[in-house]
């Protein structure tokens, strides 16, 4: 990362427009709202991480000697709820997406700036309800709120937690709505659809899922709440209700929700790989259509969560086949990132390290997903640590690696500051090692038959569990490092150049950090996207 020459740094930028708390809490600037989200989700990530630490600590020994079984149930439930609804789903879209979408399309703001701020407040209110559930004793249903346990039997604080998830869902819907309108209506002159960066394409696909999927889980949670409070009995088998109907409605959203978490990550990786390979992304149009294909296909596969239920075996077969189809566009992404790097001028800056880590880990996560989509294997490893390892490879190895890649890539844009090269590369390495040490043993444990969500286990599983717990410690250090050096960088770091990576894209054509209205003059786009032609290269160097 090159440091600023005295001319590059803007004395007037979005960060200098008021430093009072009020100027932040009442802002409608998409960049400031992005920063607000970044701070909020970091808090939720820390909380969710503490519960993960508790889980791994308990599982270091086979006996349930640290906490009561009930407490353990509440720990993994709160870990799931916090990480999924309050960290992963908003992670990239609400922070980086908010910050970068208007910049990348040459707009002054998102289409509905006040709605954007309202979304953040809705998110915070939803978070408060979840925290209320947390401090009053937690929830023990698992993040999936399966009925009839959640409606008839659980003595934990299901209502505030469900309300929190319900409310935060609307934050997600409104953010998606805002992005779709922004991408349709706010593009700079000349910026046609096939000149859009893949980051924009992936957010467009994500937003579609948010708008069309989230309302279904919202109404389902309302029904759960009604059943718990008024005993309506809609999912209660003793009065003719079907708990599996709950699972249908729940997974109709919650499977596509997985793509809400991973698609924006794919967008980040596309930007990073192109920039640090100094090449136009290989198969650009395929990449654009692949994210749309994943978003749409994702709505046809939810039944693969229900192979071990009363779901009809015929429906299961159809869901199984459709699940495998998702592997096709996903493989297109992986092949094309690899092909972009091939013969490129690859440089090993921090964001690129995370991106390469992402590609490998996502491939493992994705391929084990195909295994689990196969009914026979799924029935064998259903509800074991194999499933846990699989989705952590996608969610943590995929989504969080991409989030960190994006934060490191656009940090100069967000903060206008440099961060230490050595420490950031070290952190990337630690995260990669820690992650694999934590979750690879879980594949083996699951395949050997260790079930998930238990606080104790037979002694022969201890070695792998200790490895996993040790890995979690390493991973924790890996996550803590960026928090420290990025916070330091924000306040005390050296100012950086406007475009430290020599990247192309509209977001790099304005100052770093950008002014409140993003551009002094709205640019007119004439060139191609990812235009890393040799001529351009010469200009950058």
Partner 1 sequence: MSVHVSPTSTYVKVFLTLILLTATTVWVAFYDFGILNNVIALGIAFAKATVVVLFFMHVKWSSPLIKLIAGAGVVWLVILILFTLGDYLTRTIHYTAPPI
Partner 2 sequence: MSSSHAHAPGLAHHFDSYEQQRQSASLGMWLFVAQEIMFFGGLFTAYLIYRLMNPVVFAVASSELEIKWGALNTGVLILSSLTMALAVRMAQLGKRKAIVGFLCLTLLLGLTFVGVKAIEYTNKWHHHLVPGEHFSFHLSPTEIGALQSHGIDVSDPAQAYYVQSRAEMFFSLYFAMTGLHALHMLIGIGLILYILRPAWKGRFNLDNHNFVEGFGLYWHFVDIVWIFLFPLLYLLGRHLPHA
Residue 412: CB minimum distance to partner 2, A: 25
Stretch that binds partner 2, among 117-125, 146-154, 182-190, 493-501 (CB under 8 A): 182-190
> For residue 30, what are the CA distances in angstroms to 99, 369, 516?
6, 35, 9
> Quick one: three-class SS letters along 335-367?
HHHHHHHCCCCCCCCHHHHHHHHHHHHHHHHHH
The answer to whether residue 180 forms part of the interface with partner 2 (CB under 8 A) is: yes
At 103 the three-state DSSP class reads: helix
The answer to whether residue 375 forms part of the interface with partner 1 (CB under 8 A) is: no
Decide: 59 and 465 in contact? Cβ < 8 Å.
yes
Stretch that binds partner 1, among 46-54, 242-250, 425-433, 454-462 (CB under 8 A): 242-250
The answer to whether residue 349 forms part of the interface with partner 2 (CB under 8 A) is: no
Decide: 77 and 140 in contact? Cβ < 8 Å.
yes
Spatial distance between the Cα atoms of 417 and 488, rounded to a whole number of angstroms: 10
Spatial distance between the Cα atoms of 4 and 6, rounded to a whole number of angstroms: 6
Residue 212: CB minimum distance to partner 1, A: 5
Cis peptide bond prior to 248, omega within 30° of 0:
no
Please identify, using beta-carbon distances, which residue of 221 and 395 lies nearer to partner 1.
221
Ramachandran bin of 64, using left for φ above 0, alpha for ψ from -120 to 50, beta for the remaining angles? beta
Residue 308: CB minimum distance to partner 1, A: 14
Residue 337: CB minimum distance to partner 2, A: 31
Binding mask 185-224 toward partner 2 (x if CB under 8 A, else -) reads xx------------------------xxxxxx-xxx-xx-
Q: Which does 310 bind (CB under 5 to 8 A by kind): partner 2, partner 1, none?
A: partner 1
The answer to whether residue 228 forms part of the interface with partner 2 (CB under 8 A) is: no
Of positions 240, 459, 491, 539, contacts partner 1 by CB under 8 A: 240
At 187 the three-state DSSP class reads: coil
Binding mask 169-208 toward partner 1 (x if CB under 8 A, else -) reads ---------------x-----------------------x
Scanning residues 77 to 116, which ones bind partner 2 (CB under 8 A)?
107-109, 111-113
* Residue of 259, 129, 285 lying closest to 205 (CA atoms): 259
> For residue 193, what are the CA distances in angstroms to 84, 170, 205, 363?
31, 28, 13, 28
The 10 Å Cβ neighbour count of residue 39 is: 10
Q: Which does 109 bind (CB under 5 to 8 A by kind): partner 2, partner 1, none?
A: partner 2
Q: Which does 283 bind (CB under 5 to 8 A by kind): partner 1, partner 2, none?
A: none
b/e sequence 258-288, b meaning 16+ C-beta within 10 Å: bbbbbbbbbbbbbbbbbbbbbbbbbbbeebb
The answer to whether residue 257 forms part of the interface with partner 2 (CB under 8 A) is: no
The answer to whether residue 506 forms part of the interface with partner 2 (CB under 8 A) is: no
Q: Site residues (CB under 8 A) for partner 2?
A: 107-109, 111-113, 173, 177-178, 180-181, 184-186, 211-216, 218-220, 222-223, 226, 230-234, 238-242, 245, 248-249, 252, 517, 521-522
């Amino acid at each position: 990362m090159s440091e600023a020459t005295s001319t590059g740094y803007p004395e007037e930028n979005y960060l200098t427009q008021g430093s009072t708390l009020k100027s932040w809490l009442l802002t409608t600037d998409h960049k400031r709202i992005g920063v607000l989200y970044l701070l909020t989700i970091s808090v939720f990530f820390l909380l969710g991480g503490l519960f993960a630490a508790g889980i791994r600590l308990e599982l270091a020994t086979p006996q349930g000697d640290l906490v009561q079984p009930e407490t353990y149930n509440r720990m993994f439930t709160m870990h799931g709820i916090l990480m999924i609804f309050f960290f992963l789903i908003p992670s990239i879209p609400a922070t980086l997406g908010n910050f970068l979408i208007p910049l990348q399309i040459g707009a002054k703001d998102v289409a509905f700036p006040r709605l954007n701020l309202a979304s953040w407040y809705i998110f915070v209110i939803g978070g408060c309800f979840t925290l209320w559930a947390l401090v009053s004793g937690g929830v023990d249903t698992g993040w999936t709120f399966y009925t009839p346990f959640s409606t008839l039997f659980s003595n934990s604080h299901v209502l505030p937690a469900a309300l929190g998830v319900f409310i935060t869902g609307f934050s997600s819907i409104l953010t998606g709505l805002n992005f779709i309108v922004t991408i349709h209506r706010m593009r700079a002159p000349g910026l046609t659809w096939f000149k859009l960066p893949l980051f924009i394409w992936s957010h467009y696909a994500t937003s579609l899922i948010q708008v069309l999927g989230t309302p279904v889980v919202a109404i389902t949670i309302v029904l759960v709440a009604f059943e718990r409070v008024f005993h309506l009995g809609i999912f209660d088998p003793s009065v003719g209700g079907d708990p599996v109907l709950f699972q249908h409605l729940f997974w109709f959203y919650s499977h596509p929700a997985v793509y809400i978490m991973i698609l924006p990550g794919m967008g980040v990786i596309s930007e990073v790989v192109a920039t640090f390979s100094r090449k136009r992304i290989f198969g650009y149009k395929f990449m654009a259509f692949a994210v749309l294909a994943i978003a749409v296909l994702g709505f046809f596969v939810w039944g693969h969560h229900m192979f071990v239920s009363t779901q009809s075996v015929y429906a299961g077969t159809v869901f199984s086949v459709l699940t495998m189809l998702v592997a096709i566009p996903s493989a297109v992404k992986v092949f094309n990132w690899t092909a972009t790097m091939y013969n490129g001028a690859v440089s090993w800056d921090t964001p690129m390290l995370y991106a390469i880590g992402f590609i490998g880990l996502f491939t493992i996560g994705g391929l084990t997903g195909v295994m689990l989509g196969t009914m026979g294997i799924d029935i064998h490893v259903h509800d074991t640590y194999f499933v846990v390892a699989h989705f952590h490879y996608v969610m943590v190895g995929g989504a969080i690696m991409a989030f960190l890649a994006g934060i490191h890539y656009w940090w100069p844009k967000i903060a206008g500051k440099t961060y230490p090269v050595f420490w950031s590369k070290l952190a990337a390495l630690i995260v990669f090692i820690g992650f694999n040490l934590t979750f690879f043993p879980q594949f083996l444990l699951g395949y050997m038959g260790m079930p998930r969500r238990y606080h104790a286990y037979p002694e022969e599983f201890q070695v792998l569990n200790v490895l996993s717990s040790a890995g979690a410690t390493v991973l924790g250090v890996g996550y803590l490092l960026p928090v420290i050096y990025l916070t330091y960088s924000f306040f005390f770091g050296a100012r950086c150049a406007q475009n430290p990576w020599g990247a192309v894209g509209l977001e790099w054509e304005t100052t770093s950090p950008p002014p409140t209205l993003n551009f002094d003059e709205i640019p007119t786009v004439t060139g191609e996207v990812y235009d890393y032609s040799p001529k351009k290269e010469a200009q950058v160097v």
